[in-house]
């Protein structure tokens, strides 16, 4: 299982042709207290860089973009009842959605953990 | 344009504040987090730096009568050390700013919004007679200590402060500094606003946050607190295109002034008090958990835009989305069902009374 990162602060964990997507710990820290999350429904097609989910803090609404293209398999229903999971466990239980990758080549556009850390430090 | 620093800038940074541009200044949006700060103010006491606000002195012979030509307040019955909420009005009855005005000895002390203070001062200078002098007290900082334990904290420093009633102020010694303290605020809680010289404000901030009941609170929680309290924010819920009656601020038109007029837009405003307005500011509860924010549209059943949301967010106390909106007067009744549209999505909502969270002011005497 390999984890990749985007410049929009999403992470995507790859296991075969299945991807799990969430937002990074840095992103949740910037957003502050999360009060609402809207995840895509199974069957939805998302495209790399396109809007895929919505996350709202007390202060503002933000879009979450799909790090890679594919068909959504599952949205994390736990976030509907407890959006604060994104704050407390952003890179584990606070995942947003799972999808079936349509193009593995898109992973080349993403950062690995070291590259993402350097990117955040430069912000 | 770069943002100016307020006197407590380094103080905020040393306490881990996240700073944002606001009203031309760099200001703290949050320290530990908006939700935690919000709840702390409702349970204990929070210190806000509101030094961006304009503190003015209006002095000179005839100041009272002259101010009454711009504000709809009855200043003749405003007693020494008392303050009231008022509105700076434009000739067509629009709201130039909302403010607090205090009778203080031989002058009036006025606190106006930070983003509008320069315009307010210009408007006052243009419209007040030459004998009335306006002093913009740029050397004064302004703090607010808000929450149910604020009175305990201040009473340990200056016991007499506990005797102030809501909307009453006085001069007190806070650790060797003479401060003007009023029992007022913008959170719906009991609390105080504290005007001190900018050069000693960090000492006062240290003195107050040194008490176990007090934490520093950022602008984020200030906004969510005032929204729960149903208090409008100038530039969002109020502007020059809004009249006091549309804004549901009719209480700011004093009885004598309603009878006599003589303030800007009086004909229109008094007419609206009797005949009503096309739209009105109301409180709204939204179904579900997703916040509906400023700019969302109020829709009629045919999908036409009939109003707009001017403030909205998630209430940490109610754990639900709440908003203020201007809606057609026919819908400005408790329980009315309305639809809202935001980013292509429709939300069901209903009109509910404000404040969303009850006020807990320290009103003296009978009633409340």
pLDDT tens-digit readout, B84-101: 999 999 999 999 999 999
Q: Is the pLDDT of residue B124 over 50?
A: yes
Flag if B35 and A56 touch (Cβ within 8 Å). no
Q: Please give, one letter per residue, the 3-state secondary structure of chain B.
A: CCCEECCCHHHHHHCCCEEEEECCEEEEEECCCHHHHHHHHHHCEEEEECCCCEEEEEECCCHHHHHHCCCCCCHHHCCCCEEEEEEEECCCCCEEEEEEEEEECCEEEEEECCCCHHHHHHHHHHHCCCCCEEEECCCEEEEEEECCCHHHHHHHHCHHHHHCCCCEEEEEEECCEEEEEECCCCCCCCEEEEEEEHHHHHHHHHHHHCCCCEEECCHHHHHHHHHHCCCCCECCCECCCCCCCCCCCHHHCCHHHHHHCCCCCHHHHHHHHHHCCCEEEEEEEECCCCCCCCCCEEECCCCCEEEEEEEEEEECCCCEEEEEEEEEHHHCCCCCEEEEEECCEEEEEEEECCCCCCCCCCCCCCCC
Best A32, A39, A51, A61 member to test B by mutation, with max B CBs in 10 Å, is A32
Mean pLDDT of chain B: 96
The full set of domain ranges for chain A reads: 2-103
Q: Shortest CB distance from A58 goes to which of B34, B289, B343?
A: B34
* Residues of A whose CB is below 8 A from B39: none
Look at residue B363 in the predicted model and tell me its pLDDT. 87
Q: Is the pLDDT of residue B366 over 70?
A: no
The full set of domain ranges for chain B reads: 4-50+139-228, 278-360
On whether any CB of chain B is under 8 Å from the CB of A62, the answer is no
- Tell me, what's the ipTM? 0.89
Flag if A35 and B289 touch (Cβ within 8 Å). yes
* Residues of B whose CB is below 8 A from A35: 289, 291, 314
Flag if A58 and B293 touch (Cβ within 8 Å). no
* Residues of A whose CB is below 8 A from B293: 60-61
Task: Kindly state the percentage of chain B with pLDDT values over 90.
Answer: 96
Q: Shortest CB distance from B291 goes to which of A32, A56, A80?
A: A56
Flag if A59 and B35 touch (Cβ within 8 Å). no
Q: Is the pLDDT of residue B367 over 50?
A: no
Residue-wise DSSP of chain A: -EEEE-TTSEEEEEETTEEEEEE-HHHHHHH-SEEEEE-PPTT-EE-TTSEEEEEEESS-EEEEE-SS-EEEEEE-THHHH-TTHHHH-TTTTT--EEEEES-GGGGGGSB-HHHHHHHHHT-
Distance of residue A104 Cα from the nearest chain B Cα, in angstroms: 32
Say if residues B26 and B114 touch (Cβ distance below 8 Å). no
pLDDT in tens, B308-363: 999 999 999 999 999 999 999 999 999 999 999 999 999 999 999 999 999 999 98
Task: Kindly state the percentage of chain A with pLDDT values over 70.
Answer: 100
Architecture of the A2-103 domain: Beta Barrel (2.40)
Fold entry, domain B4-50+139-228: Gyrase A; domain 2 (3.30.1360)
Best B314, B319, B320, B321 member to test A by mutation, with max A CBs in 10 Å, is B314
Best A26, A38, A39, A59 member to test B by mutation, with max B CBs in 10 Å, is A59
Q: Is the pLDDT of residue B80 over 80?
A: yes
Q: Shortest CB distance from B314 goes to which of A35, A38, A54?
A: A35
Look at residue B347 in the predicted model and tell me its pLDDT. 97
Flag if A36 and B289 touch (Cβ within 8 Å). yes
Q: Is the pLDDT of residue B31 over 90?
A: yes
**CATH among 2.40.30.110, 3.40.50.1370, 2.40.30.130, 3.60.20.30 for B278-360:** 2.40.30.110
pLDDT in tens, B190-207: 999 999 999 999 999 999
pLDDT in tens, A35-77: 999 999 999 999 999 999 999 999 889 999 999 999 999 999 9
On whether any CB of chain B is under 8 Å from the CB of A82, the answer is no
Q: Shortest CB distance from A58 goes to which of B290, B314, B343?
A: B314
pLDDT in tens, B279-322: 999 999 999 999 999 999 999 888 899 999 999 999 999 999 99
Residue B2 pLDDT level (bands cut at 50, 70, 90): low
Look at residue B368 in the predicted model and tell me its pLDDT. 39
Distance of residue B30 Cα from the nearest chain A Cα, in angstroms: 9
């Amino acid at each position: 299982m390999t984890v990749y990162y985007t410049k929009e602060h999403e992470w995507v964990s790859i296991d075969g042709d299945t991807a799990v997507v969430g937002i990074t710990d840095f992103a949740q820290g910037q957003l502050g207290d999360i009060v609402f999350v809207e995840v895509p429904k199974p069957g939805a097609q998302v495209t790399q860089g396109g809007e895929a989910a919505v996350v709202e803090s007390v202060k503002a609404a933000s879009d979450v973009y799909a790090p890679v293209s594919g068909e959504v398999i599952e949205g994390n229903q736990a976030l509907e009842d407890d959006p604060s999971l994104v704050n407390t466990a952003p890179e584990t239980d606070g995942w947003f959605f799972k999808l079936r990758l349509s193009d593995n080549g898109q992973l080349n556009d993403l950062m690995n953990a070291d590259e993402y850390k350097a990117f955040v430090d430069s912000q | 344009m770069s943002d100016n620093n307020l006197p407590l800038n380094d103080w905020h940074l040393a306490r881990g504040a996240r700073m944002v541009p606001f009203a031309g200044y760099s200001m703290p949006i949050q320290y530990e987090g908006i939700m935690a700060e919000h709840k702390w103010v409702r349970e204990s006491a929070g210190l806000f730096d509101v030094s961006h606000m304009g503190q003015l002195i209006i002095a000179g012979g005839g100041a009272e009568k002259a101010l009454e030509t711009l504000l709809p307040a009855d200043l003749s019955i405003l007693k020494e050390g008392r303050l009231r909420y008022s509105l700076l009005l434009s000739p067509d009855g629009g709201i130039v700013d909302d403010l607090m005005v205090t009778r203080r000895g031989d002058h009036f002390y006025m606190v106006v919004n930070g983003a509008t203070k320069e315009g307010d001062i210009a408007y006052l200078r243009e419209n007040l007679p030459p004998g009335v002098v306006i002093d913009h007290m740029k050397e004064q900082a302004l703090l607010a200590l808000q929450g149910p334990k604020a009175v305990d904290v201040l009473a340990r420093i200056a016991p007499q402060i506990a005797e102030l009633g809501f909307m009453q102020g006085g001069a007190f010694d806070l650790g060797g500094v003479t401060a003007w303290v009023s029992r007022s605020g913008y959170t719906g809680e009991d609390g105080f606003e504290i005007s001190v010289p900018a050069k000693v404000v960090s000492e006062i901030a240290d003195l107050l946050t040194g008490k176990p009941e007090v934490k520093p609170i950022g602008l984020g929680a200030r906004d969510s607190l005032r929204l729960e309290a149903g208090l409008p924010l100038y530039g969002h819920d109020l502007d020059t295109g809004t009249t006091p009656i549309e804004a549901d601020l009719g209480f700011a038109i004093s009885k004598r002034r309603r009878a006599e007029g003589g303030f800007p837009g009086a004909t229109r405003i008094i007419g609206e008090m009797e005949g009503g307005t096309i739209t009105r500011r109301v409180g709204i509860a939204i179904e579900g958990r997703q916040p509906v924010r400023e700019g969302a549209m109020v829709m009629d059943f045919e999908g036409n835009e009939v109003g707009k949301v001017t403030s909205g967010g998630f209430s940490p106390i109610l754990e639900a989305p709440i908003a203020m909106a201007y809606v057609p007067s026919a819908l400005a009744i408790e329980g009315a069902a309305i639809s809202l549209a935001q980013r292509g999505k429709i939300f069901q909502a209903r009109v509910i009374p404000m404040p969303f969270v009850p006020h807990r002011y320290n009103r003296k005497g009978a009633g409340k």
